[in-house]
Amino acid sequence: MSGRYGRTPTRTAPVPPLGSLHATDRPRLGPASVIFTGQAPRLTYGDEGSIIAVVGADADRYRIIKGEIEAQAGEDTVLSPDGRRVAFTSVGFTNTRVEIVDLVTGRSRTVTSGVAGTAMAEPAGWSPDGRALVVRDTVPANPERSAYRQVLSIVWLTGDRRTRLADDHEGHGSPIAFAPDGARLAFQTGRTVTVADLDGRRLSSFTLASDTELAGKGAWSTDGRTLTVTRRDGDSWSLWRIDAATGRDLGATGTPAVSGVTAIRLLGWAVDGTAWVVAYQPAPHAPAAFDRPLEMEQRLAYGNVGTVRVLALGRGADAPATLLTAPRDVVAIDVSDDVIRSGRTREASPPRVGPRFWFWTILIPVLVTGIAAYRCRERIALWLDARRVRRARGRVDVLDRKGWKIE
C-alpha cells in the first residue's frame, strides 16, 4: 500500500522476503506505508520474539525490526503519521524500553516516560505532528507484584517535557486517539473514555455502553467535534458517533457493518469520508466465541486472530471493500495516516529474496574458498612450482627436437 500510487483491486501483503535488510541498514528505506506483525514465517525470531515487518511507501521494499514477544502493530508497535518512524518495545538485558527507529536516517533512540519501577514500557500512539509519543508503563500495584496498574504519559521527543495522563487504571490499554489539531486526545480505561489536553487536564469523561469500544487511533471525526466508537451486535461490528464532551449517542456513521470478525479498529478517514478499518479474522481453532461479550485484549490476542484485512467502509456503501488481505498468521497491522488520508493504494509485488540473501550467497562461497586456499597454501605452492618445472622441461624438449643447440 502506498500514498503515491493509483488505486487497484484487492491487494495482498506478503511476509518480508528471506534476507530482508534491517531498518537501520543502508540503503535507507525512507517513509513506510505499512507495518505488520504476527506468527507467519519470517515474522518471529529466537524464543518467539517478534519481527516487525516494514513496507516502503513508494515500492515493495521491506525492512525488519526485532521487537518483543507477540508485538502487535497498531497496538503496542506504532507507525508515525508520516510513516517515517516506528516506535516499539525493545527487550534489553534487564528490562524493556521504548525505542524509535527513524526509517529515513537509520538512527534509533530510546524514549522514557520517567515512571519509576516500570515492569513494561510500550508506545501507545503518536501525535499528529509526530513530535510527541504516548507511552504506556505497566507498574506493580503491590510489593508482591500480584497486580499491576498502567500509567499513561505524553513524552515530547525534543526536550524533557513529559505529561502524566492517567496512573491508576488496570487492564489492557486502548489505542490513543489524537484530535486532528493535536490539541486533545481520547483514551479508554475499562468502560470509561477520557478526553484530555496536552497538559493532562481532563476535559470530559463518560462511560461507554456494553459491547462498545473507542474505535481506534482514527476515532476523532475530521472536524474534531465527535468521537467514533465500534459497536458489536452478535458477530457484526459497526461504527457509531458520540459527542466528545458528553458521550451522547449521535447515531450510526452510515458505513457498512463488518461481520464474522473478532473485532475492528478504526485507522482513520480518507478525504472522501471513507473509514479505513482493520478487521481481525478469527483463527480457525480459536477457543473463544466472538459473538459474545469478551475483553478486547482477548479478541486481539495472537491465539485468537488468524489474519487481518484492511477494509474501506464507504458512507452509504452496501458492503465493505477490501483494500489489503494479509497472509495467514499476520495478526496485527498499522497504516500511516498519510496513506489513509490520500486513500491511494498499489498492488503488492515484493521480491522473492532480500539483499542479505544475495550478500551471504556470494560471501559464503568466497570465504570457504579463501579458507580452503589458506589451509592448503603449501600444497598449492608445491603444485605451482611443479607446474613451472613441467612447463620449463616442455620448452627444452621442443627446442631439442628442432635440432637447436641447447646450452
Sign of CA dihedral 200, 205, 211, 213: negative
| Contacts within 8 Å (CB) and 24+ apart, 321-324 | 322/10, 323/1, 323/10, 323/11, 323/276, 324/1, 324/10, 324/11, 324/12, 324/13, 324/34
- How far is the C-alpha of 266 from the C-alpha of 221, rounded, in Å? 11
What strands lie across the sheet with 120-126, from one edge to the other?
120-126, 132-140, 148-156, 162-169
pLDDT of 348 over the 70 cut = no
- How far is the C-alpha of 221 from the C-alpha of 226, rounded, in Å? 6
Chain mean pLDDT for the chain: 87
pLDDT bucket at 23, cuts 50 / 70 / 90: very high
DSSP one-letter code for 176:
P
Q: Are 75 and 52 in contact (CB under 8 A)?
A: no
- 3 alpha-carbon distance from chain centroid: 17
Q: Are 279 and 256 in contact (CB under 8 A)?
A: no
pTM recorded for the entire structure: 0.86
Choose the weakest-confidence range: 220-229, 301-310, 333-342, 367-376. Answer: 367-376
pLDDT of 363 over the 60 cut = no
Q: Is 259 helix (H, G, I), strand (E, B) or coil?
A: strand
- How far is the C-alpha of 355 from the C-alpha of 15, rounded, in Å? 15
**pLDDT tens per residue, range 307-345:** 999 999 999 999 999 999 999 999 999 999 999 998 877
pLDDT of 260 over the 80 cut = yes
Report how far apart the first and last C-alpha atoms of the chain are (Å, whole number). 81
Nearest Cα to Cα of residue 83 among 112, 54, 108: 54
Q: Is 65 helix (H, G, I), strand (E, B) or coil?
A: strand
- How far is the C-alpha of 405 from the C-alpha of 403, rounded, in Å? 6
Nearest Cα to Cα of residue 220 among 209, 229, 233, 208: 229
Read off the C-alpha cell for 35.
Answer: 507495518
pLDDT of 92 over the 90 cut = no
Q: Which amino acid is located at 27 in the chain? A: P
Q: Is 402 helix (H, G, I), strand (E, B) or coil?
A: coil
Angle 231-235-240 from CA coordinates, rounded to 5°: 15
Q: 282: phi > 0 → left, psi -120 to 50 → alpha, else beta; which?
A: beta
Choose the weakest-confidence range: 207-221, 299-313, 363-377. Answer: 363-377
Residues whose CB falls within 8 Å of the CB of residue 215, separated by 6 or more in sequence, listed in order: 177, 227, 228, 229, 230, 239, 264, 265, 266
CB atoms within 10 A of CB 129: 12
Q: Please report which helix (H) or strand (E) contains residue 252, including its range.
A: strand 249-252
